[in-house]
């Protein structure tokens, strides 16, 4: 058991890290250590006992408490804020006892209680030893007979080793431009990234990394993510006493939750880890965790898919889709996905959402005919849906205008001419479950792309069961319930999470979806940096990447293929316009991808030269047994003459001999890594080099 306990002290150990908390002399649950694992449990430092500095700086304020409530003389950002029924807005948490369990993963639970009020707070820690990750979440139980109002309930506060000399990395973006990395100095005060949009959002990503002069390959990095697909908040705080802490949890902005007697509120998980060897190592731990622990279909290779959206937009029917399918099959595509436009009255984005049955004019005999054709070509069939949405011009909206999120006194602001169904409501959940169950049970569908194309407005909920501000959480719980029920009913279906591209990419949704559509921007050179950002926390097999016609007059098809082959390859161009040479090149790339995809989808990823920082970039995937690797190199635009940098491989066995495509003679792994290799490319050229260990 990697958890050492004693009456006042707890140490959690993973393969390489140690994490310690304990009670200090004042009885406060105090953070002690989070860094490299130490040889003995007794090695971990004792809890600190700060002294009074002045009446303005009392010990409570600068004790690194593990989970501080808003109370007494504490002025830093608290993890929990409660209002009791009598109006008291002060929480005095006292340690009560602890428990541990071993299955399926080792867990520690530290139980706290308010000194006076019947509120129990349990801090949970799940240990993923192999991945050097700890998942933390919190349970709040109302043991009294009056309601309690929760105004903030973060999942964790992570305390860094004492100091104020850290860098904070995070990702920001917008629709069509997701996952831009930013690394900045943390200075005293608060730095917050968040979503207030009801979904995870394109605008910030629930991921952080803290370092002290780390690089991709070296240096200490503390990192983490939040497993939630709704409003979230990550705050880095540096106090005036040089203490640096990261809070992770549900966004408390416009949030409140009425916790009735005998009820329990459970927060989502905040998952974090520590590495000694740079950002790349942090990403690889998360990749392994996602692939081995999180995904519904754990080590299952993803098929090469074709998606018709960019080719046909809403203009789909049995004949034209079957024609595309024939071309796709000829190129070696394994899964044909029909996107938007197939359902009742859906000819543009102004109508149809909500009415999830095939449009009679486009599919007079239902979807069966098209699916039969696709299957006869040897491909699986997949379908696009956007179940959380409704167009005002739909039968569903005409029947249930009250089902959308709105305030009765306000106009319902449309975006893409659609409104959001309130998934917090059980009648809405039941409708979506039933209508999707019908589609999935009547048709041979192997893949569903679940889209969501707008953010919230007028977040009202008349007749809400508790506080109307519970909407933010109840919506996501409803979404998980609907998706979870469908997953149980149709366990073989592969689901993809999409929200106008990367608006819903997080560890929460990956309990249900195996893949993510990471951006509507499919222009290959832009995609290089979007893909790199995504790789900070999610592995290549979850990253669906289509080859499309964006930039076709400038960017060669081979380059576009190579970019998409860095993830789960798909094709999304208008195949009717691809000439014979294009189709042959596509068939060649797809054949090659099928050969190397186990390394890309399941291997270790090394970001060698960053496309976010350089027009010449390289990324490497190494098989887990280190016997094979695939190197991708891209040159976008550099004015000549230029000196292209050496590429230093990573992750090889230093003493084994490897051959690299196109380079004469085997060299040791150490040589390819230390001496490196040079790959000459012209502007808008790319290369894939296969690397193999020789016997
Ligand atoms: C947004 C998605 O990101 C696109 O791929 C496509 O599915 C459209 N929605 C369809 O409306």
Confidence class for position 62, pLDDT limits 50, 70, 90: confident
Q: pLDDT tens digits for 80-97?
A: 999 999 999 999 999 999
Round to whole Å and give the CA distance between 535 and 543.
Answer: 9
Tell me the average pLDDT across 14-36: 98
- The beta-strand segments (E) located in 28-76 are 29-36
According to DSSP H, which parts of 377-425 are helical? 395-399
CA angle 548, 550, 555 (to 5 degrees): 95
From ligand 1's centre to the CA of 477, what distance in Å?
Answer: 24
Number of separate helices (H) and strands (E) present in the chain: 12, 36
Round to whole Å and give the CA distance between 401 and 66.
Answer: 46
Q: What is the pLDDT of residue 617?
A: 98
Q: What residue owns the CA closest to ligand 1's atom 1? A: 500
Active-site entry in 252, 340, 520, 604: 520
Q: pLDDT tens digits for 312-356?
A: 999 999 999 999 999 999 999 999 999 999 999 999 999 999 999
Give the position, in ligand 1's atom list, of the atom nearest the Cα of 498. Answer: 3
Q: What is the 3-state secondary structure (H, E, C) of 338-362?
A: ECCCCECCCCCCCECCCCCCECCCC
Cα-only R_g, the chain? 26
Asked if residue 17 lies in contact with residue 23, where contact means CB atoms within 8 angstroms, the answer is no
Tell me the average pLDDT across 590-604: 98
Rounded to whole angstroms, what are the CA distances from 34 to 27, 160, 315, 341?
Answer: 20, 7, 56, 51
Q: What is the DSSP letter of 194?
A: E
Q: What is the pLDDT of residue 1?
A: 78
Round to whole Å and give the CA distance between 605 and 63.
Answer: 39
Task: Record the tokens describing residue 619, joined without a space.
Answer: 């990324």
Judged against a pLDDT cut of 80, whether residue 695 lies above it is answered with no
- Nearest-CA neighbor of 575 among 358, 305, 292? 305
Round to whole Å and give the CA distance between 18 and 10.
Answer: 10
Task: Record the tokens describing residue 287, joined without a space.
Answer: 């990749």
Task: Record the tokens describing residue 505, joined without a space.
Answer: 């990419």
From ligand 1's centre to the CA of 172, what distance in Å?
Answer: 21
Residue of 517, 527, 550, 573 to test ligand 1 pocket, by largest number of atoms within 8 Å of CB: 517
Q: What are the b/e assignments for 248-286, b being 16+ CB within 10 Å?
A: bbbbbeebbbbbeeeeebebbbbbbbbbebbbbbbbbbb
Under 8 Å CB-to-CB from 449, ≥6 apart: which residues?
Answer: 307, 337, 339, 382, 383, 384, 385, 495, 496, 498, 517
Torsion, Cα of 209, 211, 216, 220 (10° steps): -110
Q: What is the 3-state secondary structure (H, E, C) of 231-288?
A: CEEEEEEECCCCCEEEEEEECCCCCCEEECCCCEEECCCEEEEEECEHHHHHHHHHHH
Tell me the average pLDDT across 270-293: 98
From ligand 1's centre to the CA of 339, what distance in Å?
Answer: 7
- Nearest-CA neighbor of 219 among 289, 157, 286, 165? 165
Tell me the average pLDDT across 137-148: 98
Q: Which residues pair with residue 690 across a beta bridge?
A: 630
Q: What is the DSSP letter of 48?
A: P
Residue of 311, 451, 516 to test ligand 1 pocket, by largest number of atoms within 8 Å of CB: 451
Q: What residue owns the CA closest to ligand 1's atom 5? A: 520
Q: What is the pLDDT of residue 525?
A: 98
Confidence class for position 72, pLDDT limits 50, 70, 90: very high
Omega before 122 cis (within 30°)?
no
From ligand 1's centre to the CA of 337, what distance in Å?
Answer: 12
Q: What is the pLDDT of residue 278?
A: 98
Asked if residue 422 lies in contact with residue 430, where contact means CB atoms within 8 angstroms, the answer is no
Round to whole Å and give the CA distance between 215 and 227.
Answer: 26
Q: pLDDT tens digits for 607-652?
A: 999 999 999 999 999 999 999 999 999 999 999 999 999 999 999 9
First to last CA, the chain: 40
Torsion, Cα of 245, 529, 687, 656 (10° steps): 0
SS3 for 214?
coil
Whether 520 is catalytic: yes
Q: pLDDT tens digits for 518-555?
A: 999 999 999 999 999 999 999 999 999 999 999 999 99
Q: What is the DSSP letter of 615?
A: S
Asked if residue 211 lies in contact with residue 279, where contact means CB atoms within 8 angstroms, the answer is yes
Active-site entry in 132, 211, 355, 451: 451
From ligand 1's centre to the CA of 324, what distance in Å?
Answer: 18
pTM of the model: 0.98
Tell me the average pLDDT across 467-492: 98
Task: Record the tokens describing residue 91, joined without a space.
Answer: 């929480």
Q: Measured on CA atoms in the order 166, 172, 177, 178, is the torsion positive or negative?
A: positive
How is 233-247 classified by DSSP, letter by letter?
EEEEEE-TTS-EEEE
From ligand 1's centre to the CA of 480, what distance in Å?
Answer: 21
Give the position, in ligand 1's atom list, of the atom nearest the Cα of 384. Answer: 7
Confidence class for position 389, pLDDT limits 50, 70, 90: very high
Q: What residue owns the CA closest to ligand 1's atom 9? A: 500
Give the chain's mean pLDDT. Answer: 97
Confidence class for position 150, pLDDT limits 50, 70, 90: very high
Q: What is the DSSP letter of 560?
A: H
Judged against a pLDDT cut of 80, whether residue 668 lies above it is answered with yes
Round to whole Å and give the CA distance between 690 and 603.
Answer: 14
Residue of 384, 449, 518 to test ligand 1 pocket, by largest number of atoms within 8 Å of CB: 384
Q: What residue owns the CA closest to ligand 1's atom 2? A: 500
Confidence class for position 110, pLDDT limits 50, 70, 90: very high
Residue of 175, 347, 498 to test ligand 1 pocket, by largest number of atoms within 8 Å of CB: 498
Q: pLDDT tens digits for 166-175?
A: 999 999 999 9
Asked if residue 311 lies in contact with residue 578, where contact means CB atoms within 8 angstroms, the answer is no
Q: What is the pLDDT of residue 482?
A: 98
Asked if residue 489 lies in contact with residue 516, where contact means CB atoms within 8 angstroms, the answer is no
Omega before 641 cis (within 30°)?
yes
Round to whole Å and give the CA distance between 70 and 109.
Answer: 21
Asked if residue 290 lies in contact with residue 538, where contact means CB atoms within 8 angstroms, the answer is yes
Round to whole Å and give the CA distance between 18 and 685.
Answer: 46
Q: What is the pLDDT of residue 477?
A: 98
Q: Which residues line ligand 1 (CB under 6 A)?
A: 309, 339-340, 384, 451, 453, 498, 500-501, 517, 520
Q: pLDDT tens digits for 408-434?
A: 999 999 999 999 999 999 999 999 999
From ligand 1's centre to the CA of 501, what distance in Å?
Answer: 7
Q: pLDDT tens digits for 237-259?
A: 999 999 999 999 999 999 999 99
Place of tokens 């046909």: 312
Confidence class for position 299, pLDDT limits 50, 70, 90: confident
φ, ψ for residue 339 (rounded to 5)?
A: -90, -150
Under 8 Å CB-to-CB from 466, ≥6 apart: which residues?
Answer: 257, 258, 260
Round to whole Å and give the CA distance between 137 and 537.
Answer: 19
């Amino acid at each position: 058991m990697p958890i050492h306990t004693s009456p006042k002290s707890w140490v959690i150990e993973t393969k390489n890290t140690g994490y310690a908390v304990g009670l200090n002399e004042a009885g406060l649950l105090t953070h002690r250590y989070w860094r490299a694992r130490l040889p003995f449990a007794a090695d971990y430092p004792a809890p600190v006992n700060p002294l009074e500095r002045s009446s303005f700086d009392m010990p409570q304020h600068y004790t690194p408490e593990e989970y501080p409530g808003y109370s007494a003389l504490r002025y830093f950002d608290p993890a929990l804020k409660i209002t009791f029924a009598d109006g008291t807005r002060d929480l005095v948490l006292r340690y009560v006892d602890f428990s541990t369990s071993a299955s399926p993963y080792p867990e520690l639970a530290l139980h706290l209680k308010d000194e006076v009020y019947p509120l129990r707070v349990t801090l949970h820690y799940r240990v993923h030893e192999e991945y050097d990750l700890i998942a933390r979440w919190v349970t709040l139980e109302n043991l009294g007979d009056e309601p309690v109002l929760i105004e903030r309930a973060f999942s964790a506060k992570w305390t860094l080793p004492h100091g104020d000399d850290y860098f904070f990395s995070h990702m920001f973006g917008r629709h069509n431009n997701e996952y831009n990395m930013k690394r900045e100095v943390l200075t005293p005060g608060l730095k917050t990234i968040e979503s207030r949009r009801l979904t995870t959002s394109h605008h910030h990503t629930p991921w952080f990394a803290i370092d002290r002069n780390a690089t991709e390959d070296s240096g200490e990095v503390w990192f983490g993510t939040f497993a939630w697909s709704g409003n979230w908040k990550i705050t880095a705080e540096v106090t005036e006493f040089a203490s640096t802490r990261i809070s992770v949890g549900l966004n408390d902005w416009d949030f409140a939750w009425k916790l009735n007697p005998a009820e329990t509120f459970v927060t989502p998980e905040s998952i974090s880890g520590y590495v000694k060897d740079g950002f790349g190592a942090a990403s690889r731990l998360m990749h392994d965790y996602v692939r081995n622990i999180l995904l519904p279909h754990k080590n299952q290779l993803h098929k090469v898919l074709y998606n018709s959206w960019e080719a046909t937009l809403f203009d789909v029917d049995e004949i034209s889709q079957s024609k595309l399918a024939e071309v796709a099959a000829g190129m070696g595509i394994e899964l044909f996905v029909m996107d938007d436009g197939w359902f009742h009255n859906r000819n543009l984005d102004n109508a149809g959402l909500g009415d999830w049955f095939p449009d009679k004019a486009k599919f007079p005999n239902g979807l069966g005919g098209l699916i039969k054709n696709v299957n006869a070509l040897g491909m699986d069939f997949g379908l696009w849906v956007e179940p959380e949405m409704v167009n005002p011009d739909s039968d569903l909206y005409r029947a249930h205008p009250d089902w959308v999120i709105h305030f009765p006194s306000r106009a319902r602001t449309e975006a893409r001419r659609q409104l959001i169904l309130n998934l917090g409501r059980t009648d809405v959940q039941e409708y979506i479950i039933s209508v999707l169950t019908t589609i999935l049970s009547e048709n041979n569908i192997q893949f569903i792309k679940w889209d969501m194309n707008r953010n919230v407005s007028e977040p009202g909920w008349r007749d809400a069961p508790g506080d109307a501000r519970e909407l933010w959480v109840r919506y996501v719980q409803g979404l998980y319930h609907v998706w979870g029920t469908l997953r149980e009913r149709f366990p073989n279906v592969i689901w993809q999470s999409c929200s106008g591209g990367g608006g819903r990419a997080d560890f929460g949704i990956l309990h249900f979806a195996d893949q993510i559509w990471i951006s509507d921007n499919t222009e290959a050179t832009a995609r290089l940096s979007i893909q790199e950002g995504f790789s900070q926390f999610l592995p290549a097999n979850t990253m669906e990447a289509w080859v499309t016609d964006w930039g076709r007059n400038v960017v060669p098809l081979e380059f576009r293929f190579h970019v998409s082959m860095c993830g789960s390859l798909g094709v999304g161009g208008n195949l009717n316009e691809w000439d014979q040479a294009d189709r042959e090149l596509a068939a060649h790339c797809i054949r090659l991808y099928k050969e190397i995809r186990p390394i890309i989808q399941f291997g270790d990823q090394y970001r060698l030269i960053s496309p976010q920082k350089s027009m010449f970039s390289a990324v490497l995937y190494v098989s887990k047994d280190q016997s094979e690797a695939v190197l991708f190199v891209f040159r976008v635009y550099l004015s000549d003459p230029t000196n292209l940098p050496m590429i230093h491989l990573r992750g090889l066995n230093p003493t084994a001999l490897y051959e690299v495509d196109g380079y004469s003679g085997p060299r040791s792994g150490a040589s390819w890594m230390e001496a490196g290799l040079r790959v000459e490319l012209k502007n808008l050229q790319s290369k894939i080099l296969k690397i193999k260990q020789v016997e």
